[in-house]
């Protein structure tokens, strides 16, 4: 390393303390950007990549392939009216959450599956099955199922499901290839695609099979906050879970989850039900 | 030596000031009038746009942008400017940056993956994404929320 680079690295480190950057890598990168020393910026980027999570853009591309894998098993019900409706419900919930925006926005869709299920893929792809829509008795219950999936997204559960060894492999590869120009080597691209494949498989498994009891409960509790913020009645989540016990597909023990949701709701002020929502839900469910 | 010290001070000050700059990490970030997701939309800021942070209010940053002052959701900003990856089409990308695009989990990797997995219905996904894309949901779905007394329109209701 050149003396000048060392000098700037020291300054960048100082800025870490002074400026409150989250990591030394960030500080070095910012130092490099500001000083025009691209080597230093790259080094900071490399340090940062070694310790960081996936970027929003990377999560989006992981999510796209996870979503494509789910769509290969269960086709999309592409009726325009149905799609607009679930996107109305979903967008209202997303705006009421702490993750109102994803890299390329949220995408809500209904799949043809008969099981009562819903899926949250990284990057904002949220699917509910036609079977789940059949089980729901109101828009508020559908919103409850979707709020639970948005909560998984907010809590980053799909990305956390990537096995530690694959996370390390991905971090190492992104450090190794992250500084190379995009078109440099086909071999490197294939290696990176192999790493991508491992990551996608881990996420597909988690999204399809569900999470640990603790994570499902964490998502239930956050879903209550999202529902209340949005104006939906949160009791709908307990009602829906209470009826899921006899249905296949939904994750965890629905009765236990319903009991915990009801306990959490006991001390909360909740929005009122609204008949207009029930009317439009009935209209839509009549089309499924 | 004196000159070097002066440079040190200037650079350190600029680095300290840089900590107050954050970058848009979503393709279109909504600059809002108030610190609420249901507030009036002032502008859509592209990916990688730098904004000056003026303060924090709940889950929002009060920011100064080229389009004026407003609020951005905390989750839409990053302290680090996102790198340009291959085939990245979004945001403020200079021609210099475009030529130094680097590898990552990007469109280029997806394209390679698609070739190896030709049975995956990416074409359906593309159609789904086009049909459901909505960079401005608080405006597009305002009528939906109003009809259902949701979001900014919730004012109590009736039991059906």
A13/A129 same-domain check: no
Residue A205 falls inside a structural domain:
no
**Segment A74-87 mean pLDDT:** 95
Best of A58, A65, A228 to substitute, by most chain B Cβ atoms within 10 angstroms, is A65
Residue A200 falls inside a structural domain:
no
Residue A171 falls inside a structural domain:
no
Who among B83, B137, B149 is closest to A91 (CB)? B137
Q: CA-to-CA distance for B123 and B129, rounded, in angstroms?
A: 10
CATH code at position B55: 2.30.30.40
Q: Is A201 on the interface with B (CB under 8 A)?
A: no
pLDDT digits (tens, 9 = 90+) for B112-125: 999 999 999 999 99
Question: Which of A150, A144, A102, A103 minimizes the C-alpha distance to A126?
Answer: A150
State chain A's mean pLDDT as an integer.
Answer: 81
> What would the DSSP string read from start to end of A203-258?
HHHHHHH---HHHHHHHHHHHHHHHHHHT--THHHHHHHHHHTTSSS--S-HHHHH
Q: CA-to-CA distance for B26 and A62, rounded, in angstroms?
A: 15
| Per-residue confidence (pLDDT) for residue A192, from 0 to 100 | 85
Domain total of chain A: 2
pLDDT digits (tens, 9 = 90+) for B25-83: 999 999 999 999 999 999 999 999 999 999 999 999 999 999 999 999 999 999 988 87
A11/A66 same-domain check: no
Q: Which two tokens stand for residue A274?
A: 């609204």
**pLDDT higher than threshold 60 for residue A1:** no
Residue A169 falls inside a structural domain:
no
A108 vs B91: which has the higher pLDDT? A108
| Band (A99; pLDDT cuts 50, 70, 90) | very high
Percent of chain B with pLDDT over 70: 73
pLDDT digits (tens, 9 = 90+) for A200-220: 999 999 999 888 889 999 999
Minimal-distance CA residue of chain B relative to A29:
B80
User: Which uninterrupted H or E stretch holds A35?
Assistant: helix A24-35
Q: In what order do the strands lie in the sheet with B50-57?
A: B41-46, B28-32, B68-73, B60-65, B50-57, B21-24, B77-78
A97/A31 same-domain check: no
Residue A88 falls inside a structural domain:
yes
Interface of A with B in 147-166 (CB under 8 A): none
Pairing of the two strands A125-129 and A107-111: parallel
A154/A61 same-domain check: yes
Who among B73, B119, B157 is closest to A101 (CB)? B73
Indicate yes or no: CB of B112 within 8 angstroms of CB of A68: no
State chain B's mean pLDDT as an integer.
Answer: 82
Domain total of chain B: 1
Residue A225 falls inside a structural domain:
yes
A103/A23 same-domain check: no
Indicate yes or no: CB of A87 within 8 angstroms of CB of B59: no
Q: Do residues B16 and A19 touch, judged by C-beta distance below 8 A?
A: yes
Q: CA-to-CA distance for B40 and B146, rounded, in angstroms?
A: 15
Best of A29, A31, A193, A228 to substitute, by most chain B Cβ atoms within 10 angstroms, is A193
Residue B10 falls inside a structural domain:
no
Q: Which domain holds residue A40?
A: 3-51
A65/A11 same-domain check: no
Residue B64 falls inside a structural domain:
yes
Residue A256 falls inside a structural domain:
yes
* Chain B residues inside the 8 Å CB shell of A197: 113
Radius of gyration for the alpha carbons in chain B, expressed in angstroms and rounded: 21
Tell me the nearest-neighbour CA distance from B157 into chain A, angstroms. Answer: 5
Point out which residues pair with B71 in neighbouring strands.
B32, B62
A64/A43 same-domain check: no
| Per-residue confidence (pLDDT) for residue A54, from 0 to 100 | 85
Q: CA-to-CA distance for A38 and A181, rounded, in angstroms?
A: 14
Q: Which domain holds residue B135?
A: 20-82+118-148
B105 vs A85: which has the higher pLDDT? A85
Q: In what order do the strands lie in the sheet with A125-129?
A: A76-77, A107-111, A125-129, A118-121
A62/A98 same-domain check: yes
Q: Do residues B53 and B72 touch, judged by C-beta distance below 8 A?
A: no
Best of A37, A101, A235 to substitute, by most chain B Cβ atoms within 10 angstroms, is A101
Point out which residues pair with A265 in neighbouring strands.
none
A16/A89 same-domain check: no
| Per-residue confidence (pLDDT) for residue A262, from 0 to 100 | 87
**Segment B129-143 mean pLDDT:** 93
| Per-residue confidence (pLDDT) for residue B2, from 0 to 100 | 57
Q: CA-to-CA distance for B117 and A209, rounded, in angstroms?
A: 22
A225/A140 same-domain check: yes
A118/A41 same-domain check: no
A47/A75 same-domain check: no
């Amino acid at each position: 390393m050149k003396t000048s680079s060392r000098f700037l690295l020291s300054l960048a480190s100082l800025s870490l303390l002074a400026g409150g950057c989250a990591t030394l890598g960030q500080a070095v990168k910012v130092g490099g950007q500001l000083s025009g020393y691209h080597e230093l910026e790259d080094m900071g980027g490399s340090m940062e990549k070694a310790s960081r999570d996936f970027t929003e853009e990377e999560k989006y591309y992981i999510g796209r392939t996870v979503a494509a894998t789910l769509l290969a098993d269960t086709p999309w019900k592409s009726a325009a009216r149905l799609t607009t409706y679930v996107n109305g419900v979903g967008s209202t919930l997303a705006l009421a959450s702490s993750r109102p925006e994803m890299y390329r926005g949220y995408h809500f869709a209904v799949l043809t599956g008969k099981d009562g299920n819903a899926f949250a893929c990284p990057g904002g792809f949220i699917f509910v099955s036609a079977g789940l829509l059949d089980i729901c008795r109101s828009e508020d219950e559908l919103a409850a199922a979707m709020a639970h999936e948005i909560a998984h997204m907010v809590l980053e559960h799909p990305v956390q499901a990537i096995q530690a060894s694959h996370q390390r492999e991905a971090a190492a590869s992104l450090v190794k290839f992250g500084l190379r120009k995009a078109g440099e080597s086909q071999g490197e691209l294939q290696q990176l695609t192999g790493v991508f494949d491992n990551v996608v498989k881990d996420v597909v498994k988690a999204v399809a099979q569900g999470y640990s009891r603790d994570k499902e409960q964490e998502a239930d509790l956050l879903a209550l906050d999202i529902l209340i913020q949005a104006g939906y009645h949160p009791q709908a989540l307990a009602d829906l879970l209470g009826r899921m016990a006899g249905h296949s597909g939904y994750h965890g023990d629905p009765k236990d989850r319903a009991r915990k949701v009801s306990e959490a709701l006991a001390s909360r002020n909740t929005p009122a039900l609204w008949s207009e929502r029930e009317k439009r839900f009935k209209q839509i469910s009549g089309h499924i | 030596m004196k000159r070097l010290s002066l440079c040190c001070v200037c650079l350190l000050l600029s680095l300290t000031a840089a900590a107050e700059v954050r970058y848009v990490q979503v393709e279109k970030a909504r600059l809002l009038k108030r610190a609420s997701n249901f507030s009036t939309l002032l502008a859509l800021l592209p990916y990688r746009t730098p904004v000056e942070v003026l303060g924090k209010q709940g889950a929002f940053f009060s920011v100064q942008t080229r389009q004026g002052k407003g609020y951005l959701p905390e989750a839409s900003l990053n302290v680090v400017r996102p790198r340009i990856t291959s085939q990245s089409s979004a945001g403020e990308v200079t021609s210099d940056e475009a030529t130094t695009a680097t590898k990552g989990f990007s469109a280029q990797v997806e394209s390679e993956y698609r070739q190896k997995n030709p049975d995956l219905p990416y074409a359906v996904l593309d159609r789904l994404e086009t049909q459901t894309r909505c960079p401005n949901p608080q405006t597009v779905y305002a009528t939906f929320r109003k009809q259902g007394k949701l979001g900014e329109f919730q004012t109590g209701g009736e039991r059906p």
